Amino acid sequence: MEKTFNITYQFNAGISAEQLSAVFDASGIRRPTDDLQRLQRMIDHADILLTAWEQEKLIGVARAITDYSYCCYLSDLAVDQDHQKKGIGKELVRLLQQEIGDEVTLVLLASPIAMEYYPNIGFEKINNGFKILRKR
């Protein structure tokens, strides 16, 4: 557990689907926040779940899937809008990189509104990706 100002960061802390839903809603990120069973599966099957807390309130989350050897997909990076621009997202990414190590490439898909954010915290834009969208 690490601390920045009054923010505490935890690795693989037990959180509920309700808490994840609340931080997603408060961050503005688009996720199926009304589908708590799906959110619980997202928690259960993540390889890495980093959380940021202000006292007892979850204010940020980084959720990733990795092989710990070659690649890591940062599926969610969300920080409550009341706490954005304080370095919390950057710190969550730093802690994630610390966890996965120097041999692992960190990749993500950014929402259009976050395209300017990620280069500011060390990500390089790539143009060689493909996707098959989910049906729901």
Please give the positions annotated as active site. 118
Tokens, residue 111: 């929402």
Residues in the chain: 136
- The neighbouring-strand residues paired with 66 are 72
Kind of pairing between the strands at 7-11 and 2-4: antiparallel
Tokens, residue 79: 């920080």
For 102-116, letters b (16+ CB in 10 Å) and e give eebebebeeeeeeee
What type of residue sits at position 20? L
The CB density around residue 18, as the number of other CB atoms within 10 Å, is 12
